[in-house]
Amino acid sequence: MTPPSAQAAPAGHAKHAVLSRRLADEIAAGRYPVGTPLPSEATLSGRYAVSRHTVRTALRTLQERGLITPQVGVGSIVRATRTDSRYTQTFGSVDDLLQYASTTRFRTVARAERTADAAFVERFGGRLGERWMHRVVVRTPIGDDTPVTVADVLVPHAIGLRLGDFPDPGKPVFERIAELGETIVGIEQRIAATMPSAAEARRLRAPPDRPVLAILRRYLGAQGRLLEITRTLHPGDAFTYRMDLRLASGPPD
């Protein structure tokens, strides 16, 4: 019998996302009871016909969802059969942004073409009079319909024409922009607490009188040219943002 494989993944779903969902379903069904270890990485790799890297990424997703916890010398221990109400995302590199895109799903709830006025520039940046294509999307974890993000996604009008429909379920916008030959040389990021609009609160299923976490990212090309802007809002009581910083040359003497 051919082993179950994450290689037969639905379009737009990475192998590790498919595997994490399969394991989550098996945990919920009682195949791996609370307090017991999951099979080793090598065993899971062979059982589901995926690489060890895919297994590690899937296990990391389960850990972030509160279903398992690592234990030295034992492996991954099942700690819950249902997803934790909090969604934790660790960002340490652009690769982590790619993983975030592949471990969540989205739906587009609004589309518009905009010309930057003073309010636009104050909120997103850019220059007065520039034309932008604007999408509003809601993201949920794969396997859960609880919103973790409502996001404004904006690209310059000329780039939007070349991209066609965006976002794409299989690839982040900034990666598609790079495929057009536009080199992204840096990402600026700003994090702040803010009050959501009535529409944003409704889409997040969050109280309208409670602050949310706002993350503004500006993707820069040569000479500081703006290639993409995203502004994501997360419920303050249901999302944890984590960054691990390390000294480049080790601790001081």
Contact 37, 7 (CB under 8 A): no
Cα(26)–Cα(37) distance, integer angstroms: 13
Q: What is the pLDDT of residue 102?
A: 55
Give the residue ranges of the chain where pLDDT is below 50: 1-2, 7-12, 85-91, 93-95, 98-99, 253
The domain spans of the chain are: 15-78, 92-242
- Chain segment 67-103, per-residue pLDDT in tens: 888 887 888 999 888 765 444 444 454 445 544 555 6
Cα(59)–Cα(136) distance, integer angstroms: 30
Distance of CA 168 to the CA centre of its chain: 13
Class of domain 92-242: alpha beta
CA atoms within 13 A on the CB side of 233: 25
Pairing assessment for the beta strands 87-90 and 239-242 based on DSSP bridges: parallel
Cα(137)–Cα(133) distance, integer angstroms: 13
Cα(217)–Cα(148) distance, integer angstroms: 17
Record the pTM: 0.61
Q: What is the pLDDT of residue 50?
A: 93
Phi first, then psi: give them for residue 149, nearest 5 degrees: -155, 135
SS (H, E, C) the chain: CCCCCCCCCCCCCCHHHHHHHHHHHHHHCCCCCCCCECCCHHHHHHHHCCCHHHHHHHHHHHHHCCCEEEECCCEEEECCCCCCCCEEEECCCHHHHHHHHHCEEEEEEEEEEEECCHHHHHHHCCCCCCEEEEEEEEEEECCCCCCCEEEEEEEEHHHHHHHCCCCECCECHHHHHHHCCCCCCEEEEEEEEECCCHHHHHHHCCCCCCCEEEEEEEEECHHHCEEEEEEEEEECCCEEEECCCCCCCCCCC
The arrangement of secondary structure in 15-78, i.e. its CATH architecture, is Orthogonal Bundle (1.10)
Closest residue by Cα to residue 55 from 66, 67, 64, 43: 43
Q: What is the pLDDT of residue 70?
A: 84
CA atoms within 13 A on the CB side of 113: 8
Q: What is the pLDDT of residue 239?
A: 62
